[in-house]
Amino acid sequence: MVNVEAEAPSTRAKDAIPVAEEVPPFAFVLVKLASRCNINCTYCYWFRDAEVYNKPAVLTVEAEDAFCQRLEQHIEEFELDHFVLIFHGGEPLLFPKHRFVELQEKLLDIEDRTGCEISRGVCTNAILIDGEWADILKSYNVTVSVSLDGPPDIHDKYRVDFKGRGTHADTLRGIEFLRAEGIEPGLISVCNPHTDPEQILSYVVEKLGIKEFDILPPDATHSDNPPQISDYFIKLFDVWYDKYAAQGVRIRTLDAMIQGLVGNFSVSDTVGLGPIETVTLMTDGSLEPLDVLRIVGDGSTKTNSSVLNNALQDVQNDPRWREAFEASMELCETCQKCEFLDSCGGGHVAHRWSPERRFDNPSVYCDSWKSIFSHIWKRISPTLIVEYETDAASSPTMPNA
């Protein structure tokens, strides 16, 4: 039951787009442990920027030490009680095991000295996970998200090694090592609009037994002219809503869309109105904006900020980081007039890019998102229940979303 008013999606944010002011203290950093990968996914955004190849293959010891020092200073300066680190790549588990352990020990020491809880996660293709890696991840309470696009015939079409061979079996083996240690990984899939989402749902839920995961649109800009995703996501929603929702299955992107449509805040980079405040630590210690923006092309995320010379919060003043931050909130005129502004928020900031107007565009998937949101609203709006709360004087108040 959702406590909302069952009427057309709100457009209240048209007159209340957030204005970019001082950036709140960062509480999340995407840590690139490796700038290379052990496989060769054909749709990967990361290597569309050749600047990646100018970075050290793994996080340097100098950059690691400087980052830990800057992190502790940042936590103390802003009196933070919680911080999130996501280890990423390339493929982050190309980082040597002994160095990963040493890094976790440094982070534990920072927690002890500051009293700040540092939550840690890793996004991996799982191919390098063995018993030792699984034990390390469990020992340091590192949550795991695995990239898997579905059953072998779908996954192996794009997620291939450098000889063009599919990687599905290797990824499943890594998942088995995790489960042997009691780790239940999350799952991240990139949709192929030409495939059947029901096949993905059936495989992930019934074959793998995973009930919480995400399915994302392919990363693309207006220069790419990608196929539209409306048919895929509409069917994904229908199959999930009619069959799997009652089983407790949760798909993060669908959750975000529903939350936005009923007037709640949606937490997702893919959709939802709000700032993108991601800071990316590169393997040489440089600090950059959201890593997916590399899809724009060579040098697209390069800044002059580095933990070797700057405090973490300093990157908020870098022009390139600032442009990405402000672009996530300052939406184009088309978006501001859209009935789905609150719930869509312009879509992923990287998907708005064009060489002519930079980020001042609707999403390359704009038409698809409109169709998807309209379909979801038509299906859920008849089921919404409104509950009004009253104060002591029995005066009606606005409903709680």
For 140-170, the pLDDT digits (tens) are: 999 999 999 999 999 999 999 999 999 999 9
Distance CA 398, CA 5 (A): 9
- Which pLDDT score is estimated for 142? 98
What SS3 state is found at 190?
Answer: strand
Buried b (16+ CB within 10 A) or exposed e, 307-318: bbebebbbbbeb
98 CB burial (10 A radius; 0-12, 13-18, 19+): exposed
Q: What is the pLDDT of residue 36?
A: 97
pLDDT < 70 stretches in the chain: 1-21, 386-401
* 312, part of any domain: yes
How many distinct structural domains can be found in the chain? 1
Crossing angle between the packed helical segments 366-380 and 252-261, to the nearest 10 degrees? 70
One-letter amino acid at 382 equals: P
Whole-prediction pTM value?
0.89
Kindly report, residue by residue over 31-54, the tens digit of the pLDDT. 999 999 999 999 998 998 889 999
The reply to whether 275 falls in a domain is yes
DSSP 8-state symbol, 150: S
Q: Which residues contact 185 (CB under 8 A, 6 or more apart)?
A: 126, 144, 145, 146, 175, 178, 210
Indicate the pairing of strand 287-288 with strand 279-281.
antiparallel
Q: What per-residue confidence (pLDDT) applies to 391?
A: 57
Mean pLDDT of the chain: 90
Report if residue 391 sits inside a domain. Answer: no
Here the tokens at position 18 are: 């957030």
* Predicted pLDDT at 9: 40
User: Phi and psi of 33, rounded to 5°?
Assistant: -75, -25
pLDDT recorded at residue 388: 64
Residue numbers of the domain that contains 359 = 12-383
- 7 domain-assigned: no
Percent with pLDDT over 70 in the chain: 91
Distance CA 256, CA 369 (A): 13
Is 393 a domain residue?
no
- For residue 288, being part of any structural domain is answered with yes
Quote the CA–CA distance of 386 and 383 in Å, as a whole number: 10
Is 2 domain-assigned?
no
- At residue 275, the pLDDT reads 87
Distance CA 312, CA 372 (A): 38
Per-residue model confidence (pLDDT) at position 384: 84
- How many whole angstroms separate alpha carbon 54 and alpha carbon 36? 11
DSSP 71-129: HHHHHHHHT-SEEEEEEESS-GGGS-HHHHHHHHHHHHHHHHHH--EEEEEEEE-STT-
* 397 within domain boundaries: no
Query: Which CATH number goes with the domain that contains 206?
Result: 3.20.20.70
In the block, which residue shows the tokens 């693309």? 220
